[in-house]
Amino acid sequence: MTDKSGDHEVEVAQDAAVADSRGKKISNAKYEKELARLQIELVKMQEWIKQQGHRVVVIFEGRDAAGKGGVIKRITEPLSPRICRVVALPAPTEREKGQWYFQRYVSHLPTNGEMVIFDRSWYNRAGVERVMGFCTEEEYLEFLRSAPEFERMLVRSGIQVIKYWFSVSDEEQERRFQKRLKTPTKRWKLSPMDLESRKMWVEYSKAKDAMFAHTDIKQSPWFVVPSDIKKHARLNCISHLLGQIAHEDLTPEEIIMEPRPAQQGYVRPPMDEQTFVPQIHGADDD
Q: How confident is the model at residue 199 (pLDDT cuts 50, 70, 90)?
A: confident
- With vertex at residue 48, the alpha carbon angle to CA 46 and CA 52, rounded to the nearest 5 degrees, is 125
Q: How confident is the model at residue 137 (pLDDT cuts 50, 70, 90)?
A: very high
**More reliable by pLDDT, 3 or 192:** 192
Which tens digits make up the pLDDT trace of 14-48?
Answer: 444 444 445 589 999 999 999 999 999 999 999 99
Query: What is the arithmetic mean of pLDDT over 223-232?
Result: 97
How is the chain split into domains, by residue range? 53-229
38 vs 240: CA distance, rounded Å? 11
Residue 283 has pLDDT above 70, yes or no: no
Q: How confident is the model at residue 56 (pLDDT cuts 50, 70, 90)?
A: very high
Residue 94 has pLDDT above 80, yes or no: yes
Distance of CA 129 to the CA centre of its chain: 21
Q: How does strand 84-87 pair with strand 55-62?
A: unpaired
Answer yes or no: are the C-beta atoms of 58 and 118 closer than 8 Å.
Answer: yes
Q: How does strand 114-119 pair with strand 159-167?
A: unpaired
Answer yes or no: are the C-beta atoms of 125 and 143 closer than 8 Å.
Answer: yes
173 vs 66: CA distance, rounded Å? 7
Using CA atoms of 194, 189, 221, 108 in order, give the dihedral in degrees to the nearest 10: 120
Q: How confident is the model at residue 224 (pLDDT cuts 50, 70, 90)?
A: very high
Which superfamily does CATH assign the domain made up of 53-229 to?
P-loop containing nucleotide triphosphate hydrolases (3.40.50.300)
**More reliable by pLDDT, 3 or 85:** 85
Which tens digits make up the pLDDT trace of 45-55?
Answer: 999 999 999 99
pLDDT at 23: 59
**What is the value of pTM for the model shown?**
0.86
